[in-house]
């Protein structure tokens, strides 16, 4: 069982659950193909204020099935869906605790009390950090879900932080990424080792969705004065379709692998 020597990732989103077992040690980086269990529509709806688990029994059933297929790992890293958190690219002053600075900056913008927020930061190159704030009770619902399935939690990560961190680990000089979630997407511009742009937008189900993503990509690329490679890397569920849609609209795009989407969580 691969999880004995590695880690298990479980990513949740509105349309389904994705699980992957990643090896460690000499076999580090090896991974079986991610397993996916679809969820009934409306069972999980990412919401930054209220619990996303609208039908907890359906989600619990899906998670139990995924864990069975993964070989019942005792612990896993849970990757929460995009759309739960508020993000901001920050450059904390020197000698300042980045997380406290993020609380100071993000606190007033949250739709709930700052004291209820769990705030984390990840390095974004240079003095920059990408800060994320998520409501404690929203996370607690997922913790309860994991506990109800007998799953211990090694860590809880959050999309798209997972993907952004993974991309930064093997960063090209310049890159424009689109990270897809079921209800939201993120456009990131990396340049000279720094995350320069981070925009998160709600998705618009239907034909307008691709237009919306294409406009966001154009806007981010223009903001960088054309210094960024025009080739767009699309990550996440449905990345192939979105990349094809962008190509069809005259942009250069390609789909990334599922593990690139999940890789940082390992």
Partner 1 sequence: MTAPPDFRTGHRATASSPLAARLVLGAAALALLLGLGGAVRATLARDDARAQVESARRAVVPMRAELRDREYRSRRDATWRHQAELTASSAPPRVIADLAALLPGDARVERLDLRYGDQLELDFHVETRSPAAYDRFLAALVASGRVEKVVPGPEVREGEAATSVKAVYRPGGRP
List contacts with partner 1 (CB under 8 A): 80, 97, 99-100, 103, 114-115, 117-123, 132, 134, 136, 139-140, 143, 153, 155-158, 161, 165, 264-265
Work out how close the CB of 229 gets to partner 1 at its nearest, in angstroms, rounded to a whole number.
26
- What minimum distance in Å lies between the beta carbon of 231 and partner 1? 28
Judged by beta carbon, residue 144 or residue 241, the one nearer partner 1 is 144
Q: Which residues are 8's β-sheet partners?
A: 21
Torsion sign (Cα): 169, 20, 146, 183: positive
Minimum CB distance to partner 1, residue 118 (Å): 5
Strands (E) across 86-238 are located at 86-90, 117-123, 129-135, 152-158, 174-180, 184-191, 194-202, 231-235
* 64/118 with CB nearer partner 1: 118
Residue nearer to partner 1 on the CB measure, 117 or 214: 117
Q: ∠148-153-154 over CA atoms, to 5°?
A: 170
Give the whole-angstrom CA distance, residue 152 versus residue 34: 20
Crossing angle (nearest 10°) for helices 136-148 and 56-69:
50
16 vs 79: CA distance, rounded Å: 12
Closer CB to partner 1, 161 or 228, in the complex: 161
Tokens linked to 194: 């720094």
Q: Whole-number minimum distance, CB 50 to partner 1, in Å?
A: 16
Instruction: Output 124 or 243, the one with its CB closest to partner 1.
Output: 124
Min. distance of Cβ 136 from partner 1 in angstroms?
Answer: 5
Per DSSP, 145 falls in state H
């Amino acid at each position: 069982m691969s999880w004995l020597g590695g880690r298990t990732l479980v990513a949740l989103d509105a349309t389904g659950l994705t699980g992957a077992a990643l090896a460690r040690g000499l076999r580090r980086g090896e991974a079986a193909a991610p397993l996916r269990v679809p969820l009934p529509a409306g069972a999980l709806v990412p919401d930054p204020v209220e619990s996303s688990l609208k039908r907890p029994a359906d989600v619990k059933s899906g998670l139990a099935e995924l864990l069975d297929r993964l070989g019942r790992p005792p612990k896993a890293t849970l990757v929460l869906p995009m759309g739960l958190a508020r993000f901001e690219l920050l450059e904390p002053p020197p000698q300042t605790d980045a997380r406290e600075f993020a609380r100071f900056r993000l606190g007033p913008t949250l739709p709930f009390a700052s004291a209820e927020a769990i705030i984390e930061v990840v390095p974004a190159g240079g003095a920059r950090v990408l800060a994320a704030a998520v409501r404690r009770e929203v996370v607690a619902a997922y913790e309860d879900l994991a506990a109800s399935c007998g799953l211990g939690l090694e860590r809880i990560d959050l999309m798209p932080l997972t993907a952004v961190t993974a991309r930064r680990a093997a960063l090209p000089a310049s890159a424009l990424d689109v990270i897809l979630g079921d209800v939201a997407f993120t456009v990131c511009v990396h340049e000279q080792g720094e995350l320069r742009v981070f925009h998160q937008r709600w998705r618009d189900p239907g034909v307008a969705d691709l237009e919306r993503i294409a406009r966001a990509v154009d806007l981010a690329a223009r903001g960088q004065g054309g210094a960024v490679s025009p080739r767009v890397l699309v990550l996440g569920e449905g990345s192939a379709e979105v990349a094809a849609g962008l190509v069809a609209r005259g942009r250069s795009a390609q789909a990334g692998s599922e593990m690139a989407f999940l890789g940082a969580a390992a």
